[in-house]
Chains A and B, each alone.
Chain A
Amino acid sequence: MTEPVLSIEDLSVSYATASGSVHALSHVSLEILPGRVTGIVGETGCGKSTLAHAIPGLLPVPAAQVRGGRIVYRGIDLTKLPRWKLPMVRGTGIGMIFQEPLNSLNPAFRIYDQVAEAIRIRRIRERGAGATHPEGAPFDYSRPESPSTAATLTRPILPGGAVQEHLKTRGLHDPSMHDEVIEALTLVRINDPETIVRLYPHELSGGMRQRVMIAQALSERPSLLIADEPTSALDVTIQAQVLTLMKELIDELHTSILFISHDLGVIAEIADDVGVLYAGRLVELGPVAEVFERPRHPYTRALLHAAPSRFKDEGPLDSIPGTVPNLARLPMGCVFHPRCAFARENCPADPAPPLRPIGTAPAGEHRTACWHAEEVT
């Protein structure tokens, strides 16, 4: 079995609120294998974004706290990494693409500067690690790093007239940088990069901004890319273009992706493996074809059936009765049992069911957290 790029072991995250502690993630275990796209699907408030933010240490501490578990990336536990070392992991190691590209791009800088910034950071890192590695890409995260290197990476952008001077000193304007920026934008199929680099984010359309975001994330050559609803703000034809682009880039660059979406269709389109989150728990995990064709958790099954796929004269849609539970007051036992069509007396009585192998997929790849999974067909 291949070594996973990232393994999440028994991760629990909770938020402290006025009404008590909210368990956003409970005992989530997940492995992301190299070169594969792992999709995470779930409804609003199921903990998708908490998972995406927990991995690179972007949770809003102290409100959010990792209550237990480990996130192992290249042999080190990211949850134990001191905060000043996290910038070493972000970007070059783990890249991120967010839902709303306008909020993620700096409105005060041209596209050129924003993409060049990412390349500059990669170069600094390569200088640190390149001596020991011919390709310069992998960075030795376990090595003790001096706080000053981390400070260089996170140096704030200066205000006012100092900005231009500051950018010059960062080596943003040398010709090799220019070529690399153009190359990064060409990679994401932007047709006229020479014009685009001179524009500001507000001058681009949503699809173009998302391409710039992808270019920025990929130009740091991450080994893992976390995409949190990257196409949800886009129109459907533009979404189709961006998804096609991402699929092509996966084949070209062999990056592993953690792809988070609420849209079952998007996940079916792009993911190799899929994990279904419900109320902060992973209820089903497996290869996408297996999970979508033979869902073995009642929630996954209900979610797939709720998608409107019939015409009005063909009878009402199947919906899931009830509502998503309040994460501060989760039901006893299996969190889905109050809404479940397959629930029995033991579901609320027993502790929450663990993920267990099921079905015919080899090596226990398809796993579900349901006591009565054999009956779910």
Chain B
Amino acid sequence: MTDAACEPLLETTSIAKYFPLPVSARDWLGRTPARSIHAVDQVSLTVRSGETLALIGESGSGKTTFGWLVARLHEPTQGTIRFRGQDVTHLSGSALRAWRRNVQIVFQDPVGSLDPRLRVWQIVSEPIRAQLPLRRAAVRERVAELLPQVGLPSDCLDQYPHEFSGGGRQRLSLARALSINPSLVVLDEPTSALDVAVQAQVLNRLVGLQRERGLSYLLITHNVATVRYAADRVAVLYVGQLIEIGPVRAVLTQPVHPYTKALLAAVPVPDPKRRRARYRISGEVPTLINPKPGCRFAPRCPFVIERCRVEDPLLRPVAEFPDRLVACHRAEEVGSIPPETLIGSGPAPPDRPPSN
């Protein structure tokens, strides 16, 4: 499923979302230029038909905002979204509503995204009822068929969401997204609220459903272990920008970008033998408010050179690594350095409080 011949299902071109900050009277009088939070900045990527593309990054990297943009829940500030070759960036009204059956989203919070006053059949059938003129009995029948596919009993139609465990709620959320047979499902942290044993059950079901139905997933997560098991390709985001994208096995075993190396080295492994001094980056994620030019990872990067601080690195292929795009000026030099040999950290930046 990873071969490049697969047709692109969804394609974003230089898509961006800036959230403007409120302008105070003082800013207005002082003619201070308007400031905005650059949540997603010029991200171009493709989700192929039948694949899982994982978006990985830390909090504030713009993963969720990107997922919302793709599902047309946010209006992009710039850029275009194409779905099966058709430009859907500016769809509205009934055209948008009709298009929505193609892309569904499983929200991050399985408690907050299920209305506590609705019964299971009402929750799961919400997209059906919005899209199709079906009678109540027919709707209930479709829901009853769907529930076993996500691993829930089909006789719980009249229960309420609070009667389910965390894993059960996540399955309800998944059933709702699948109810109108979308071709792309945006999974926003589908397992982050779950314990490891339940997480394994849900991931197995997700992969099973993909094989049965030929679904595409955009998997948004901060959890590297989830990506390893569920993804075909992985895209790494840092402060709103795409910094590396490639096949999952290759990226996880041979990360090129210094941030990807640091991210993977920071993941705790349940193996006490591997406990040792490891590659650590110092400092914290910089602010998203009107970021300065240059590579955003430069202040924390152990390989930083002067060029990194002034010139934005562009996403480009790296010779030694097929199917890989990396945004780093020194990708060729640092690419083959395994993270295990990088002990210690880069220049320690001052611990600045985030400027508000």
**Are B270 and A264 in contact, CB atoms less than 8 angstroms apart?**
yes
Q: In the bound complex, what is the Cα–Cα distance between A316 and B270 (angstroms)? A: 19
User: Inside 8 A of B228's CB, which chain A residues have their CB?
Assistant: 308-311
User: Inside 8 A of B225's CB, which chain A residues have their CB?
Assistant: 307-309
Partner-contacting stretch, out of B142-150, B175-183, B192-200, B307-315: B192-200
User: Inside 8 A of B230's CB, which chain A residues have their CB?
Assistant: 308, 312
Within 8 Å of chain B (Cβ to Cβ): is A303? yes
Q: In the bound complex, what is the Cα–Cα distance between A320 and B351 (angstroms)? A: 43
Within 8 Å of chain A (Cβ to Cβ): is B95? no
Partner-contacting stretch, out of A99-107, A154-162, A191-199, A348-356: A191-199
**Are B350 and A306 in contact, CB atoms less than 8 angstroms apart?**
no
Within 8 Å of chain B (Cβ to Cβ): is A288? yes
Interface of A, helix, strand, loop or mixed by DSSP: helix
**Are B196 and A306 in contact, CB atoms less than 8 angstroms apart?**
yes
A182 vs chain B, min Cβ distance (A)? 14
CB closest residue in chain A, given B281? A237
A248 vs chain B, min Cβ distance (A)? 11
Within 8 Å of chain B (Cβ to Cβ): is A164? no
B222 vs chain A, min Cβ distance (A)? 7
Q: Which of B260-299 contact A (CB under 8 A)?
A: 262-263, 265-275, 278, 280-282, 284-285
A232 vs chain B, min Cβ distance (A)? 11
Partner-contacting stretch, out of B24-32, B40-48, B77-85, B201-209: B201-209
Q: In the bound complex, what is the Cα–Cα distance between A192 and B352 (angstroms)? A: 8
**Are A192 and B195 in contact, CB atoms less than 8 angstroms apart?**
no
B233 vs chain A, min Cβ distance (A)? 11
Choose from A192, A268, A311 the contact partner of B351 (Cβ within 8 Å).
Answer: A192
Q: In the bound complex, what is the Cα–Cα distance between A196 and B353 (angstroms)? A: 8
CB closest residue in chain B, given A185? B351
Within 8 Å of chain B (Cβ to Cβ): is A132? no
User: Inside 8 A of B278's CB, which chain A residues have their CB?
Assistant: 240
* Per-position 1/0 for A299-342, Cβ under 8 A of B: 00011101111111000111110011000000000000000000
**Are B204 and A317 in contact, CB atoms less than 8 angstroms apart?**
yes
User: Inside 8 A of A306's CB, which chain B residues have their CB?
Assistant: 196-197, 199-200
Partner-contacting stretch, out of A24-32, A63-71, A75-83, A204-212: A204-212
**Are A199 and B353 in contact, CB atoms less than 8 angstroms apart?**
yes
In the complex with contacts A236-B58, A236-B222, A312-B232 CB distance below 8 A: yes
Within 8 Å of chain B (Cβ to Cβ): is A115? no
B339 vs chain A, min Cβ distance (A)? 12
Within 8 Å of chain A (Cβ to Cβ): is B229? yes
Q: Which of A15-50 contact B (CB under 8 A)?
A: 43-44
**Are B267 and A265 in contact, CB atoms less than 8 angstroms apart?**
yes
CB closest residue in chain A, given B201? A319
A131 vs chain B, min Cβ distance (A)? 40
Q: In the bound complex, what is the Cα–Cα distance between A196 and B271 (angstroms)? A: 36
User: Inside 8 A of A319's CB, which chain B residues have their CB?
Assistant: 197-198, 200-201, 204
Choose from B222, B232, B272 the contact partner of A235 (Cβ within 8 Å).
Answer: B222
Choose from B208, B270, B281, B284 the contact partner of A307 (Cβ within 8 Å).
Answer: B270
Q: In the bound complex, what is the Cα–Cα distance between A304 and B282 (angstroms)? A: 30
Choose from B196, B201, B204, B248 the contact partner of A43 (Cβ within 8 Å).
Answer: B196
**Are B268 and A316 in contact, CB atoms less than 8 angstroms apart?**
no
Q: Which of A262-286 contact B (CB under 8 A)?
A: 262-269
CB closest residue in chain B, given A191? B351
In the complex with contacts A192-B351, A308-B200, A237-B269 CB distance below 8 A: no
**Are B270 and A267 in contact, CB atoms less than 8 angstroms apart?**
yes
Within 8 Å of chain A (Cβ to Cβ): is B249? yes
User: Inside 8 A of A304's CB, which chain B residues have their CB?
Assistant: 270
Within 8 Å of chain A (Cβ to Cβ): is B92? no
Q: Which of B184-241 contact A (CB under 8 A)?
A: 195-201, 203-204, 207-208, 222, 224-226, 228-232
Within 8 Å of chain A (Cβ to Cβ): is B348? yes
User: Inside 8 A of B271's CB, which chain A residues have their CB?
Assistant: 268, 292
User: Inside 8 A of A196's CB, which chain B residues have their CB?
Assistant: 351, 353
**Are B281 and A308 in contact, CB atoms less than 8 angstroms apart?**
no
Choose from B167, B203, B263, B282 the contact partner of A236 (Cβ within 8 Å).
Answer: B263
A337 vs chain B, min Cβ distance (A)? 16
CB closest residue in chain B, given A43? B195
CB closest residue in chain A, given B264? A236
* Per-position 1/0 for A107-133, Cβ under 8 A of B: 000000000000000000000000000
Within 8 Å of chain A (Cβ to Cβ): is B131? no
**Are A265 and B268 in contact, CB atoms less than 8 angstroms apart?**
yes
**Are B196 and A266 in contact, CB atoms less than 8 angstroms apart?**
no
A246 vs chain B, min Cβ distance (A)? 13
**Are A316 and B353 in contact, CB atoms less than 8 angstroms apart?**
no
**Are B204 and A289 in contact, CB atoms less than 8 angstroms apart?**
no
User: Inside 8 A of A204's CB, which chain B residues have their CB?
Assistant: 353
5 smallest beta-carbon distances between A and B, as pairs: A265-B268, A240-B266, A264-B270, A319-B200, A308-B229
28 A-B residue pairs with Cβ-Cβ distance under 8 Å, sorted by A, are A191-B350, A191-B351, A199-B353, A205-B284, A208-B284, A235-B285, A236-B267, A237-B280, A262-B195, A263-B268, A265-B267, A265-B269, A265-B270, A268-B272, A269-B269, A303-B197, A306-B197, A307-B200, A307-B225, A308-B199, A308-B203, A310-B229, A311-B228, A312-B229, A312-B230, A312-B248, A319-B197, A323-B198
Interface residue ranges, B against A (CB under 8 Å): 52, 58-59, 165-167, 195-201, 203-204, 207-208, 222, 224-226, 228-232, 248-249, 262-263, 265-275, 278, 280-282, 284-285, 348, 350-354, 356
Question: Beyond the given A207-B284, A312-B248, could you list 11 further A-B residue pairs with CB under 8 A, ordered by the A residue number?
Answer: A43-B198, A44-B195, A208-B353, A237-B266, A240-B280, A265-B267, A303-B196, A308-B200, A308-B225, A308-B230, A316-B204
Interface residue ranges, A against B (CB under 8 Å): 43-44, 190-192, 195-196, 199, 203-205, 207-208, 235-241, 243-244, 262-269, 288-289, 292-293, 302-304, 306-312, 316-320, 323-324
